[in-house]
Structure 1
């Protein structure tokens, strides 16, 4: 009997130890700026799962879709207040707090390839600048990614800058609208959720929305049959960040795992979306009602020159925005990208 009791006690203690060993040392609640059904969110969830495996279960990230706790424009404050532990979001959403976030989050016309933006973030000063910009909010910038050069959705042929004149297009507020207006277009404020309806009902003729594969899946190209691909305008910065206080409590090895994991995430995100875009382009090309337009190098250069003038204007909106302007243009010039 005594032997049986000892055996049962040992089994209980072993079970308790196993359960304890499986419990995460650090549990974080992150909110994404993407809905659960999007390809972006799926790649983000895969990142959270990898972090758990890489850390041998010591880190558990509960990733929530857009709007689960707060609006996508409010995650920065939510982290500062302890409502959220972190976010995966488009940096430009915080341009209302400081225009600098709008300029670094989407330097319209600056980047023609994802590798250029990632090189700037990881090796060209972007990481240090984002760390400085987030510091007053008590937020730690872990690292950056992007999606892909966004497609341009249009109901009418747009083959160059001249075709933008008078075009009613949906564009996010801030720098994006400012650049399109300078190019002669007529930007319209419209939430992303209303882009399809706006195109269908003729409220807008075109839209700066997202990557080609997402547009194709959503049926955008069926109602706006003249997409521009690759896009000529937008390549957003996506950042993964968390509470500075909670970051500081992490041991050095887990900090390194998170930092490394975000660089892996950036490669995963850009590669998967590029593959998805290539497949979507083939699907669209097979549809005789859809005509894909690809701007010439000359027209892309014209648009970039217009955009570059607006960077200067936007940089005057805050001291931090001026820092972003100086940093980005220096990188572009140093690397012969202007």
Structure 2
């Protein structure tokens, strides 16, 4: 074969091939190193105890963020008390950057952020999950909430739909009259104040302390979350009845007990905008998944409660109306704590008075300021 038959300009010498491969490998290594250096890890603590369905769901979601972000963002999840020992510590740990985020029940911050009593359902207020999503995502409540949280060095990413709260009791509660004299575990703030109107003595306890308090008789009834988690916490072993609202309403005092994802404001601002959008989108997706998974588990848990001998009692529609009449002055008392609380409440009051909802009339709030 004639050497002139070869077009030597189209052939890469062996040394050139190795040089090209080496260059590509080097560039790849640099890109990988750059990606590793750019990856951001957030430590996020939930208020769910380890081993509960709530924590398992949240951890699975956190574990999926790294893949969804292409390795640019990673969430390391912790159960209740793992880093911050209590709720106050959790709030401060996120503000100070010890943790980058938290997954709390929004109502926990009523003592620090009075407006937070209106960022989750409250006694006889909006009682359907879609109503809360409407207020947050369509009526401007999300933007106002973020404005409030920024004053505390926090960024409120979004609400996470959870469940209704129910009351477990040693003795049946068949009407509001039966509440008188009960020593009941309740969240603080507005809920405790409304129950006090019916003669209840409120006791504040974290979820992990409820079972031993019921077992020892320190309390004789307890509000906590829904059937799925409460079954796992053993409440059927230390109580005999569950109190719910009228048919179709599990709870008249916290029917939509919202959780949320809140993060350190500096950590949020340091995040690339595309990752910020990813986190916001993922919170909305997770909210639906969490809610629906809990509802399925609630149905299964109620069968177990019944098999264990637990009975269910329900308040009447008349009880609900009486409960709302007692709650309205408390709404206004909390709304008047500061301008932020009033701003959130005003949004909700207008919504509740709209004929599409119709919970409140002018007569109901006559004389209230």
Which residue number corresponds to residue 127 of structure 1?
A: 142
Which residue number corresponds to residue 276 of structure 1?
A: 297
Query: If the length of structure 2 is used for normalisation, what is the TM-score?
Result: 0.82
Matches within 5 A, 1:75-94: 75-94=90-109
- Check conservation: 1:221, 1:227, Cα contact below 8 A: no
Which residue number corresponds to residue 319 of structure 1?
A: 339
- Check conservation: 2:163, 2:295, Cα contact below 8 A: yes
Structure 2 residues without counterparts, runs of 5 or longer? 1-13, 245-249, 360-369
Matches within 5 A, 1:104-183: 104-183=119-198
Asked if 1:16 corresponds to 2:29, the answer is yes
Asked if 1:309 corresponds to 2:329, the answer is yes
Which residue number corresponds to residue 212 of structure 2?
A: 197
> How far apart, CA to CA, are the structure 1 residues paired with 2:123 and 2:68?
36
Q: Aligned pair in 2 of structure 1 residues 216, 55: CA closer, same or farther (>3 Å)?
A: same
Aligned length: 337
Q: Aligned pair in 2 of structure 1 residues 337, 145: CA closer, same or farther (>3 Å)?
A: farther
Once the two structures are TM-superposed, the CA of residue 123 in structure 1 deviates from its matched residue by: 1.9
- Check conservation: 1:88, 1:238, Cα contact below 8 A: yes
Which residue number corresponds to residue 286 of structure 2?
A: 265
Once the two structures are TM-superposed, the CA of residue 189 in structure 1 deviates from its matched residue by: 3.2
In the TM superposition, what whole-angstrom CA distance separates every residue of 1:88-132 from its partner, at most 9, and x where no partner exists? 111222222232223434423323332222222222332122112
- Check conservation: 1:86, 1:242, Cα contact below 8 A: yes
In the TM superposition, what whole-angstrom CA distance separates every residue of 1:27-70 from its partner, at most 9, and x where no partner exists? 21222122222211222122223322222221111122222222
Secondary structure of 2:41's counterpart equals strand
In the TM superposition, what whole-angstrom CA distance separates every residue of 1:300-326 from its partner, at most 9, and x where no partner exists? 232233222211122222232222322
Structure 1 residues without counterparts, runs of 5 or longer? none
CA RMSD of aligned residues (A): 2.6
> How far apart, CA to CA, are the structure 2 residues paired with 1:48 and 1:15?
28
Which residue number corresponds to residue 236 of structure 1?
A: 257
Secondary structure of 1:292's counterpart equals strand
- Check conservation: 1:140, 1:241, Cα contact below 8 A: yes
Which residue number corresponds to residue 297 of structure 1?
A: 317
> How far apart, CA to CA, are the structure 2 residues paired with 1:102 and 1:208?
16
- Check conservation: 2:121, 2:127, Cα contact below 8 A: no
